[in-house]
Amino acid sequence: MNRSGLKERIVDLVRREGPIPFDRFMEMALYDPDGGFFGSGPLRSQAEGDFLTSPETSGEFGATLARFAESEFRRLGRPAGFTLLEVGAGSGALLSPLLTALDWTPRTVALEASPAAREALRQALPAVEVASDHRDLDRFRGVVIANEVVDNLPVAIAVRAEEGGWAERRVWSDGADLVLVEAPVRSEVLAWLKAHAADVPSGGVVECQLAASNWMGRMIDLLEAGAIVVIDYGDTSEGLLLRRRRGGTLRTYRAHHLSRHPLDEPGSMDITADVDFSALARAATDRGLQCKLYRQDDFLSELGLDGRRAEFRQRELAEARDGDPMERLRLRSRVKEIETLLHPRGFGDFRVLVATR
Ligand SMILES: C[S@@+](CC[C@H](N)C(=O)[O-])C[C@H]1O[C@@H](n2cnc3c(N)ncnc32)[C@H](O)[C@@H]1O
């Protein structure tokens, strides 16, 4: 079915049921098997796709995360069946260098919502188990990694009213087009807002990330012992107050560029919001996990990436003096890739939540 089919189905749905919450719309726009951006269509995370991520930028990202997996393996006493689960594994650009960097082989599972990504993963990494549903997995000891996935989990949208209360934006149809309308806020959304957005001024728009907290709960259920590592754009609740200004952080991407309003052509573009890492950490600490929040540049540097940059740079300079020009270029591009991963206003400004049990 084509994308206009998805929009027509959403129009039919709101005509039948009345205005639907934005998170329900976003669920369909991203994950519907007949027209959702991830649920159907080609592989999205690649140079020719819609966005470029840290693992797609450089194999150094996955290779550096291998050091984290190694330290958890040792912390847990090298258990048999130690499992590496990557959620939203895309093309395999993170898992491939990670597994190459280890001198042992963990059981590895890639959980993917996209059929095209699942097929790409089976082709690229035949030894990796590929799954579409967390309910198919048993509990394990190991590490869960999710890079640029939680920002896609459906959000509700709330607006702070003049009197200090909240309204919720719902999706409605004014005829052929989808539009946003304001409605009373649902009780679960209100509870989330009270916990994580109490200081937002009137007129402020907030993406309420209930689905992200629920996702964290599902990952914790899977993890007997080990760590969950969430890497994404976003900030603490306080940081988001400044970052999102009044208009919220919801945006869309298509072919590497910011795209149109999320209600235009549902299914044709990525819909995403900055992750509220305080809310995500709270979902983990409430279940007894220890949480630590890093910036990506600090996290990767602690795992040795900055040292690797310096080493490549030294070798590049040595090759420049009396070595092989091709090798010099290869080292130069490695240095550039690492600088991109650590750039303080780019990927380096991403956040990394490490939740351990
Ligand atoms: C922005 S891409 C990132 C891909 C990869 N992690 C990377 O960093 O290159 C998001 C990926 O997560 C997948 N995805 C989105 N929501 C998901 C979910 N709820 N469960 C599993 N995979 C999901 C998408 O299909 C897509 O491949």
Q: Model confidence over 174-198: pLDDT tens digits?
A: 887 899 999 999 999 999 999 999 9
Angle at 83 between CA 82 and CA 87, to 5 degrees: 160
CA dihedral defined by 163, 181, 257, 269, rounded to 10 degrees? 140
* 60 located within any domain: no
pLDDT for the residue numbered 48: 63
Q: How far does the centroid of ligand 1 lie from the alpha carbon of residue 120, in Å?
A: 13
Do 332 and 316 contact (CB within 8 A), yes or no?
Answer: yes
pLDDT for the residue numbered 2: 45
- Does the pLDDT of residue 44 top 80, yes or no? no
The interaxial angle of helices 3-17 and 22-31, nearest 10 deg, is: 150
Q: How far does the centroid of ligand 1 lie from the alpha carbon of residue 316, in Å?
A: 35
* 273 located within any domain: no
- Nearest of 195, 188, 225, 240 to residue 351 by alpha carbon: 240
* 325 located within any domain: yes
pLDDT for the residue numbered 164: 86
* 132 located within any domain: no
Q: Which two tokens stand for residue 135?
A: 């309910």
- Nearest of 135, 129, 76, 86 to residue 107 by alpha carbon: 129
* 321 located within any domain: yes
Atom of ligand 1 nearest to the CA of 86: 6
* 311 located within any domain: yes
Atom of ligand 1 nearest to the CA of 90: 27
Ligand 1 pocket, residue 55 CB under 6 Å: yes
What pTM was estimated for this model as a whole?
A: 0.95
Ligand 1 pocket, residue 44 CB under 6 Å: yes
pLDDT-based confidence at residue 167 (cuts at 50, 70, 90):
very high
332 lies in which domain range?
305-342
Mean pLDDT (whole number) for 49-72: 92
Tokens 């970052």 sit at which residue?
Answer: 243
Q: Which two tokens stand for residue 224?
A: 């007997």
Q: How far does the centroid of ligand 1 lie from the alpha carbon of residue 196, in Å?
A: 25
Q: Cα separation of 145 and 148, whole Å?
A: 10
Q: Which two tokens stand for residue 299?
A: 């996290």
Do 156 and 25 contact (CB within 8 A), yes or no?
Answer: no
Number of domains composing the chain? 1
Q: Which residue, judged by its Cα, is nearest atom 4 of ligand 1?
A: 90
